């Protein structure tokens, strides 16, 4: 995907780098322009609202890349869902989605879908627990958890998936 960087983003050389621009600001502008469309980091990767992408996190988009073979028709889609956080230097292998409010630890290698609210880390990344929307670790007892920071309540359903309980 080609981006036309606004001239205001290009500056004089800084620390020997010929051009420098604020990618965060540029992505915010793109996302604002797209309105309801998810942000696309590059072809095949979509980021929904409120996503945090840590420094140097990497997304692949072809499962078996070769420099001398063009495989643009084989790009696999990856969606980082609302509120998810991906730590620094994490690698997300293409075709695997990151669930709502999930947390991927720094340096992790994601090789499977990450469930909503899951906290994963390691290589390969494995579910190590679950987190609240506010990012605090949840502690389940008898299938229920209450966040100690914000008070939101969660339960684990029959499929071992975490869901937020609606306030009554």
Measured CA to CA, the distance from residue 113 to residue 108 in angstroms comes to 13
pLDDT tens for the 168 residues of the chain, in order: 444 444 444 444 444 444 444 555 555 544 443 444 455 566 889 999 999 999 889 999 899 999 999 998 999 999 999 999 999 999 999 999 999 999 999 999 999 999 999 999 999 999 999 999 999 999 999 999 999 999 999 999 887 789 988 764
- Count the residues in the chain: 168
| pTM attached to this predicted model | 0.76
Report whether 147 contacts 138 (CB < 8 A). Answer: yes
Q: Which structure tokens are listed for 102?
A: 């999930």
Each as own residue / partner, the long-range contacts of residues 133-138 (CB below 8 Å, 24 or more positions apart, any chain) are 133/83, 133/101, 133/164, 135/85, 135/103, 138/162
* Gap between the terminal Cα atoms of the chain: 45
* Preceding peptide of 124 cis, ω within 30°: yes
Each as own residue / partner, the long-range contacts of residues 46-49 (CB below 8 Å, 24 or more positions apart, any chain) are 46/77, 46/78, 46/79, 46/80, 47/79, 47/80, 48/79, 48/80, 48/81, 48/82, 48/83, 48/84, 49/82, 49/83
Measured CA to CA, the distance from residue 119 to residue 157 in angstroms comes to 17
């Amino acid at each position: 995907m080609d981006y036309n960087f606004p001239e205001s983003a290009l500056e004089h050389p800084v620390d020997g780098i010929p051009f420098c621009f604020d990618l965060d600001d540029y992505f915010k502008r793109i996302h604002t322009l797209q309105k309801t469309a998810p942000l696309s980091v590059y072809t095949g990767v979509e980021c929904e609202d409120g996503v945090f992408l840590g420094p140097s996190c990497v997304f692949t988009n072809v499962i078996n890349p070769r420099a001398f073979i063009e495989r643009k028709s084989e790009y696999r889609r990856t969606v980082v869902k609302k509120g998810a956080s991906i730590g620094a230097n994490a690698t997300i292998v293409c075709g695997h989605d990151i669930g709502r409010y999930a947390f991927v630890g720094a340096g992790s290698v994601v090789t499977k879908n990450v469930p909503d609210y899951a906290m994963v880390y390691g290589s390969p990344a494995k579910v190590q627990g679950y987190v609240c929307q506010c990012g605090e670790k949840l502690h389940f007892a008898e299938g229920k958890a209450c966040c100690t920071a914000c008070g939101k309540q969660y339960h684990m359903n029959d499929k071992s998936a975490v869901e937020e309980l609606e306030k009554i």
